[in-house]
Amino acid sequence: MGPELGLLCCLQALNQNETDGNLTDNTCDQLVKRPLDSFLEYIEKRVQLDISGLFSPSWNTALENSLLWITGCRPSPYIRLTYALCGSQVEYQLSEIIQGLARGNLGQILATQLRMINNLHIKTIEEEEKLSSQLAGLQENIADQPIAMVAKRMSRVGESSENVDHALDELESSMANILQEADKLRLSTLKELLAILTPLQGVDFLVASKKLHLCMHKWGKTRDNRHGRR
């Protein structure tokens, strides 16, 4: 299922719920399961691609690439987005909440859920920092032996070197390992967050996150065209 079609299905379900309140937990669970399955398939396949190219993919806009963290988004913004949605929906639907007419979306999140989300936020940031530190260490290794010294001694800039090829292969292998760990963190954070939310809140969150992703891509294309990059 493509991103636009998946988003459309979720939007239709939410609109139906706003109308009649008959959206069942089972239907919501199915709507949440599809993007999770797609994401899992995506991260399993992409490690087989050129790892270096994934750190600045050609299919992304310059805006999107400027926001990448280890070839994707940081998982902690999932939680920041949840906080933002909770606040905006409470404000938007305040009268409905007071009257007991709200349909169970993120505007009705419980204090116990917020505590669990906060604990997940803290844990996620700690894991992000560990991976960021590992990636920084790899980047610093470029200035070490043998790559820097081989480059300094070359009579022709960029000529082939068995030592450099071996060192770069090891670097790419290490980058692939960090990428896999980052993807695991993204997936586990998303699963834990959705487990804290109710099924309907999970659909609400996925709709908002997918719309944000698609909007960033289109806004990035507009800016690339404006600056003559496309």
- Overall number of domains in the chain: 1
**pLDDT at site 225:** 93
**pLDDT at site 101:** 42
Q: How far is CA 216 from the centre of its chain?
A: 13
**pLDDT at site 6:** 47
**pLDDT at site 99:** 45
**pLDDT at site 19:** 43
Whether residue 113 contacts residue 208, with contact meaning beta carbons closer than 8 Å, is answered with no
**pLDDT at site 194:** 93
How much of the chain exceeds pLDDT 70, in percent?
A: 81
* Token pair recorded at residue 167: 């060192």
- Kindly report, residue by residue over 158-178, the tens digit of the pLDDT: 677 787 788 888 888 899 999
| Sign of the dihedral defined by the CA atoms of residues 149, 150, 153, 154, in that order | negative
Name the residue range of residue 9's domain.
3-226
Whether residue 80 contacts residue 191, with contact meaning beta carbons closer than 8 Å, is answered with no
**pLDDT at site 148:** 77
- Structure letter (DSSP) for residue 68: -
**pLDDT at site 181:** 95
**pLDDT at site 166:** 83
Residues of the chain with pLDDT under 70: 1-23, 88-105, 145, 158, 230
- Kindly report, residue by residue over 45-90, the tens digit of the pLDDT: 887 888 888 888 888 999 999 999 999 999 999 999 998 888 765 4
In whole angstroms, what is the distance from residue 143 CA to residue 199 CA? 49
In whole angstroms, what is the distance from residue 208 CA to residue 214 CA? 10
